[in-house]
Structures are given as C-alpha cells and as structure tokens.
Structure 1
Amino acid sequence: MSDYQYLDEPRPDIYRMIPPDGKLIGTIGCGRAATELQLVRDGREVHGVDVSAEAIEVAKSRLTSARVIKPADETPFEANSLDGLILADVLEHMPMAWLRLRRLMEAVKPGGWVVISVPNNRYVEALVPLLFKGDWPEYPLGIFDETHIQVMTHKRLDRWCRDAGLTKEAEFDLYDFSFFKRNVYRAINLTTFRLFRSFLTFEVQARYRKT
C-alpha cells in the first residue's frame, strides 16, 4: 500500500495563480504533478522536484523533467534559471523556511514570479480547537497536517517574501471546501470589504515578483 498521502487531483486554486508569462517553470514539492500537467499541456516547460520517489515516478510522465531531492536541498535549481516557481503547500514543512525561501528565490530570474500557497493557521476553524479546547490535533492532511512545522499567516508570509526580495503582485482567496461554508465565508468576506479575510480563508495564497 502507498504511504504517499497527497491526492492525485489537479488544483484549480493553484492553476489560477499562474500568470501567462514565463516559459520555464520550476515546481518544488510537485507530488504527482497533476496540476503542473496542465501547464505542460499549455506549452510550458515545467521541471519538478519532490522528496517522494513514489510521486516522482508518476511526475516523470507528466512534466518536462522530474527528480527526487533530499529534504535539506536548498538549491534544487540553478541560479537565475527559472521564469517562475511554484511553492504549493511546501514552506510549512521546512525548518527555518524564511531562510530557505531566500535561497530558493536565487533560481528565479529578476522580474520572474513565484506563486505560494500555505495553510492559514488563523483560519477560524483552526482556532476553535486551540482557543476553546486548548489543543492542536494531528491529522494526515489539511491545516492540522502532522508534518507541518511552521505556523503560517498572511502577514508572516508577506514578511518572508519582502525579506526575500519579492513584491506581492496578486492575492487569492480560498474558502472552505464545504459548499455551504464556502459561500457563507465568501459573503462575509466581501460584505466586510475583506477586513476579516485572515480568519475566513482556508489557505494563504499569493503571487509575488522578484525585484
């Protein structure tokens, strides 16, 4: 039986963040590359890396190239070699991820982009067990993923990116997967002019440019 936990399904929330510019794209923690496959179909050159050999075996058939790296590899791509970089739910797994981000951005050319998605630990439903139960559970997936070692918020990610020489170009809202909750939280967010976005969105998602 496979011990690789992540699902083999495209993520439209990540795909929507990718800008039209950039021919050569890197993706760290690509998994089986179900999302990146669409970029290849769009005519992009996509190179993926992941720590899972099992996932990479699938990704090899979908990407321009895919290879296994060690968790401690801080520079999986050559300096100034990429037009864009995808970091979809990987930073929260990295020790001292703010420093790793600076090293990873060395691979992106000036003017290039990076799209980042991380869990929002300020999400209202993540705060319930912490504030009312005094606990933080461990689950195989999701915000309470037992392998997460970073506490992520909108402001923390923005600070990391500024320190890495990045400027935010666009931000994206991802709500709960439940149809009812998704629409309730979206309505509250819009009617309050996004003042409570940091409590209502399931993930922190944004696109940045290297200055």
Structure 2
Amino acid sequence: MRLQPEAALADDRYVFVREFLKRRPAPATGGVLFDIGAGEVSVMRADAESAGYAWRGFDLVPSSADVSQWNIDTPFTGSERADVVLLMDVIEHTFNPGFAIRNIADALKPGGRLVMTTPNPRWSRARTLHLFSGFPACFTQHDLDVNHHVFPLWPHVMEQLVAEAGLEVERYVVLDRDEIKPKPLSAASPGLWVEGLMRKAIEARDLSSRGMSYAVVARRVGAAA
C-alpha cells in the first residue's frame, strides 16, 4: 500500500469532521456543503452552517423535508455543485463504491473536497476477528443483516477509486482508537489475553491498524485551491 496514514487518533469521525470545518470555513463569497447520508436529523448541519456553508442534505430514503433523495450509485442530477461533500460511514453501504465516488466527484466544484469516513478493515481487531471467525469486524453476517455493510473499503482500494474519479488524497487518518486493556479473569481469559497480545504486536508494526475507522480528505483536481 503506497498510502500511509497520519498518527492514529482517539477522536471519532464527528470530531474529525468538525475540526476539518473549523480549519476550512466557507469562502467569503459563500460555499455549499453536501451532507450525504444525512438521515432525519443531521449531526453535522449546525457545524457546517457555523463554518459558513449552505447545507444540503441527501439520503437514499429521505425521512425529512430538509433532505433530498440521491442514490449515489447514480449521477447527481441537480445543477448546484459543492465545495465540500461529507460522506460519513456511507460508502460501506454501497454495492458500487467506484461509481459512487465518481458521481460524488462530479458533484464537486474544481478544488472541492470529499471528506469520507468508513470502518477500517486493517484495524487490529478486524484482523484477529477474521483469523478466528473468518469475518473482519464490521462486516460479519450481523453487520450485513442489521447495518447493510456490504463493501469493506480497504485503503489501497480507496486510493485507487479516488484517483480514478479525478481526486487526490490530501489526508488519510486512522480514527476511533481503542486502548487494548487486560481482560478480567474468566473462562475466556486465555484466548482474550492472546488476542490482546496479537493486537499489540500488529499495532506496533502497522500504524494503519490502530483504529476502528479511517478518514480521507480528497481534493478534486482543478484550478481552485
């Protein structure tokens, strides 16, 4: 994998995106932010508007009058273009992530940013779970049935799909770091202690394994900075 992450953070995806918006407020002339997967009540709307952006919410099945319908597996049909697109824990729900990222890139202004978060299949816990169960964390049968997680987006695959969509990665950050603590004594203790040691060994040599999620900021290639 050519792409290497920044230092793993304890922060969750919401903290990461809030910090991004504080560092990159809307231009003085105004800006537009697309919030994909906004749901009924967007967690990020107030932060986007505080940063000066006109917020536009989208979802596959809108449950609010403030949110418009958009299946990102299909091209965006509106005339407006975004300075920033938030795609927070959405891409793993899509059957065609390459199409989705390309359609989102087409909805960005030149120089616009895609801020994307997704479960991290390189997480140490995902690796040990896969070793014992055959399934990586966040992509078990339960995650498929309950959460509709269908596509684990490995960072090297994400890097390729983003590049093919005309975007370049500016930041790759591992999020949701969990501290590996000794487990209380129980019948399962030996196995849990072994898993903990395995995870520590993995994380000691691989920074990308140190968080349950990861975030990417990607810029649409174009004239604007």
TM-score exceeds 0.5: yes
Name the CA distance, whole Å, in 2 between partners of 1:172 and 1:135.
Answer: 24
Does the aligned pair in 2 maintain the 1:49–1:76 contact within 8 Å? no
Task: Tell me what 1:130 maps to.
Answer: 130
For 1:164, the aligned partner's letter is A
- In structure 2, stretches of 5+ residues that fail to align are 1-12, 182-195
Instruction: State the secondary structure of the residue aligned to 1:209.
Output: strand
Letter in 2 for 1:34: V
Name the counterpart of 1:154: 155
Distance of aligned partners of 1:153 and 1:202 in 2 relative to their CA distance in 1, 3 Å threshold: same
Kept in 1: contact 2:86–2:114 (CA 8 A): yes
Q: RMSD in angstroms over aligned alpha carbons?
A: 3.0
Aligned length: 182
| SS in structure 2 at match of 1:16 | helix
C-alpha change, 1:153 and 1:145, in structure 2 (3 Å) is farther
| Cα offset, 1:140, TM superposition | 5.4
Q: TM-score, normalised by structure 1?
A: 0.73
* TM-score, length basis structure 2: 0.69
Match of 2:42 among 33, 36, 51: 33
CA distance in 2 between partners of 1:128 and 1:116 (Å): 25
- Asked if the contact 1:25–1:46 (Cα under 8 Å) also holds between the matched residues in 2, the reply is yes
By relative contact order (CA 8 Å, sep 6+), the higher-ranking structure is 2
Q: Which runs of 5+ in 1 are unaligned?
A: 1-9, 61-65
When residues 127 and 91 of structure 1 are mapped into structure 2, their CA distance, relative to the original with a 3 A threshold, is same
Question: Which structure 2 residues correspond to residues 151-190 of structure 1 after superposition, within 5 A?
Answer: 151-176=152-177, 178=178, 180-181=179-180
Q: Percentage identity across aligned positions?
A: 19
1:20 aligns with 2:24: yes
Per mean C-alpha deviation after superposition, the further-off stretch among 33-42 and 69-78 is: 69-78
2:61 matches 1:52: yes
Match of 2:4 in 1: none
> How far 1:77 moved relative to its partner?
4.1
Q: CA deviation at 1:120?
A: 0.7
Deviations 1:77-105 (A, max 9, x none): 436x1111111111111112112211221
Q: Deviations over 1:141-188 (max 9, x none)?
A: 9xx964111121221111111111111112223133x5x349x9xxx8
Residue 52 of structure 1, CA deviation = 3.5
Counterpart among 201, 205, 209 of residue 215 in structure 2: 205
Greater C-alpha Rg: 2
